[in-house]
Structure 1
Amino acid sequence: MGILSGTEFYAWHFMPFSNLPEDVKDRDSLWVDLPNDLFDPEVGHKLYTRYISELVLAEKLGFDGLCVNEHHGTAYSMMPVPSIIAAALIPQTSRAKICVMGTPPAIEYPHRLAETYAMLDVMSGGRLEIAVPLGTPMEYWLNPINPVTARERQAEAVEVMLKAWSPGSPHRHTGRFYNYRYLNVWPRPFQKPHPKIYFVGSGSPETIELAAKYGFGYSSTFSPIATQLAAQQRLRELAAEYGHEIRPDQTPMTVQVHIAETDEQAVAEMEPHARLFFDVLLRAGRFTDVPGYLTLAQFRKRNGQVLPASHGKFDWEGVRKTHRIIAGSPMTVAHAVEKWAEDARTTRVIFQVHLGDMPHWKVVRTLTYLGEEVIPYLRSRAQVSADDGPAALAS
């Protein structure tokens, strides 16, 4: 059976600073207290130019969307303000949606964030999408927000943003954390009433319920496949209780991918970059310990582990068995993605095309194989599934 008709394909870039000395591998964490003396602005300038060009290339190759995300105080990502990267992409692209995945509203003034997203939506002509995270535990070491109140603050911040985008401004908001006498966003969003919104997380029930309450999408990133499928099924069930129906495009799945001519070549090429990504760049040490970040029930359920076991630990065979990570030839990748998308009942596939210190030529080759072979094949399969029925599939 082919993937669902109308499936869209996105390219996601983390934009890491990978030009690091060898001894960073001896550090307990590459987050929060990593000295910024290790950042070379000249190298950073070249990397920004290169990374943005890779996303621009993805649109030229036929990708439907581009994703950027936010992290603070880490070489893992050079995007503490992803809206700036989105703004840089807008004039260099014309068709692809741009998804900011995203600023945690709990650590930002929500009215200002609503203004930022409205600007980007107007600048792009309505191509903006938004993903709303709580933020990793490490973010709360760098921002003066009490993690005990983070979830309440997030929920109220989302309420403020939606109110700011609603017709009939100015509005008034009086809450526990935010008070606005004149909640009045200029400009207002291009899309009505606002851009498409997703929540992202690691499967916390509270985040899933918040997404279900509004009928928004949800994606759990870097979680095992079984955990993601369970979270999105729970989203469908809860959303129905709130009177919403979750569409297939609201449950995106992410795939870490590398493509070469043969499976063996692709695995050999991807492994060292995956090792740096999982074993070094994701290592956060004691900064994953943030009292109050998880509810007591979730803390017990996770046995005190706030982040997935894959963070800061490289188990190549293990992670390939439990997560959506694929290295192979174009057809090997296409078949794996087709199976995963079918199981997830999704029409949104997000490819992470760069890992660790992967060189430009490898990223370009993977993007090219995806754009010229994998995505066209998957689209043809979806078209057969939608238009010609079981007989065509059987043949």
Structure 2
Amino acid sequence: MEDAMPRPDDLQFNMFHFMPYIHLPEDHKKYESVWVDFPNTIYDPVKGNQLYTRYLREMALADKLGFDGLVVNEHHSTSYSMMPAPSLIAAALIPQTSRAKLCVFGTPLNLEYPHRVAEEYGMLDVMSGGRLEVALPLGTGMEYWVNPINPATARARFRESIDILLKAWREDGPLAYEGDFYTYRYLNVWPKPYQKPHPKMYLVGTGSPETVQLAAELGLGYSSVFVPISKQMQAFAELRERSPSYGHTFTRDKAIIGIMAYVAETKEKAEQEWMEHLFFFFKDALRTTPRYLVPPGYVTPAEFRKRISGPNLHGELTWEGLTEQFFVVCGTPDMVAESIAAWSEQAHSSRINCFLHLGTMPHWMTVKNMTLFAEEVIPRLRSKAPDMRQSLPQAAE
């Protein structure tokens, strides 16, 4: 018998994997950025093959451990992630998994032909029997240095691409579409998704008001990553406030928070095992330049001023600084569960993206972390869920 469909306010946990290339040369710090112009001669395809095999095993294990979703995403020309085509990773996971949602979080539509993405996602949803979830990012600034798209028109192109995707999925074809960037005489997607009218959808952003506004207008969920907690909370508050004015109800499953966690027998052991990998992630895996991060025209002038005056992830990092700005926790199952419960309640969120592999974490450590999180942390959080729901303002639902 299949599991009953969860309510929107039921806590669900996704295993998020970046699938990084970790075999960097000893002198890798001489490069200002591991994005855009990081030489691809550094990449060893034999080691890459071994990493893909390992990472797919970890995601398949997450399915067996009971995680609700498996999240893959897209980046280009970087050691940060070996997923320039996340649909391929999702397809590879279909026969290795049986229950978890396949969350492609995801392809920047404006870097592709939107009808082609609609077809690819339709294939994944049909092949998986309706297990696909989709999040649509504008894409980091770095993506626009390696894809021939003008960042100044990126947001308008993104909006039009979403319109095409939704039209192709929600209406029967063939259709015609004439836009500023795309014109289709026959918009006739085969196959259409297994789920009707389409898989659950989110927008991914870094707190830009324009992205939050679009999510509210379209009735989609919202997820943000690597921005300070205060900015994420502001974005979620705006989504809750604006959604009703467009005829959409905000529910807690429309807000996704991303947490970085490591679970061990004691707080001291967790810190001893995890810290070097966490700091590698922030200092090295994310290392890039302001020029690549915010290309001309990528954001509005007002947003640009906010970003250049905001926190610098690549300066002198401390544990205290990280925990003040981001959802980061390590320690015993009780400690990790208490932190996540507080964050979820604060954000009015019932969807948690769990970054349980970061940077150079070895396989044994990732397996340990995933297993303890699944067996010790998730049950604690689910036992708290009714109390958490009761403590939230009813108007937020």
| TM-score, length of structure 1 as denominator length | 0.94
Q: Which moved more, 1:308-317 or 1:27-36?
A: 308-317
Aligned length: 383
Counterpart for residue 333 of structure 1: 336
Cα deviation per residue 1:164-207 (whole Å; 9 max; x = unaligned)? 11232111100000000000000110011111110011100111
**Aligned pair 1:18/2:22, yes or no?**
yes
Report SS of the residue matched to 1:292: coil
Give the drift of 1:312. Answer: 6.6
The one-letter code of the counterpart of 2:241 is E
Q: Which among 369, 372, 376 is matched to residue 366 of structure 1? A: 369
- Structure 2 partner of 1:298: 303
Q: SS of the residue aligned with 2:153?
A: helix
**Secondary structure, in 3 states, of the residue corresponding to 1:19?**
coil
Taking every aligned residue pair, what percent have the same amino acid on both sides?
A: 54
Change (3 A) 1:198 1:303: same
Partner residue of 1:349 out of 332, 349, 352: 352
Of 251, 258, 264, the residue aligned with 1:247 is: 251
Q: CA deviation at 1:143?
A: 0.2
Correspondence for 2:265 among 252, 261, 273: 261
Aligned Cα root-mean-square deviation (Å):
1.6
- Check 1:349–1:297 CA distance in 2 against 1; reply closer, same or farther (3 A cut): same
Report deviation, 1:271.
1.1
Q: 1:311 to 1:166 in 2, by over 3 A?
A: farther
Which of 322, 327, 330 does residue 325 from structure 2 map onto? 322
**How does 1:202-281 map onto structure 2 within 5 Å?**
202-281=206-285
Q: Secondary structure at the match of 2:82?
A: coil
* Per-residue deviation, 1:83: 0.5
Q: CA deviation at 1:270?
A: 1.3
Residues 9, 252 of structure 2: 8 Å contact kept: no
5+ residue gaps, structure 2: 1-7, 392-397
Letter in 2 for 1:197: M
Q: Does 1:310 align with 2:313?
A: yes
Unaligned runs of 5+ in 1: 390-395
- Does residue 30 of structure 1 match 2:30? no
Question: Relative to 1, partners in 2 of residues 1:383 and 1:241: Cα closer, same or farther, differing over 3 Å?
Answer: closer
Aligned residue in 1 for 2:113: 109
Separation in structure 2 between the aligned mates of residue 166 and residue 373 of structure 1, nearest angstrom:
41
User: 1:281·1:312 contact (CA, 8 Å) conserved in 2?
Assistant: no
Deviations 1:344-386 (A, max 9, x none): 1111111101111100011000111011111111112225667
Give deviations 1:255-307, integer Å, cap 9, x for gaps: 001111111111121111111111111011131240000112212333466xx
Shift of residue 156, structure 1, vs aligned partner: 0.2
Conserved 8 A contact 1:134-1:154: yes
| SS of equivalent residue, structure 1 residue 34 | coil
User: Is the Cα–Cα contact under 8 Å of residues 67 and 98 in structure 1 kept in the other structure?
Assistant: yes
Find the aligned partners of 2:373 and 2:279 in 1 and give their Cα distance.
Answer: 23
User: CA 1:280/1:386 → structure 2, altered by over 3 Å: closer, same or farther?
Assistant: closer
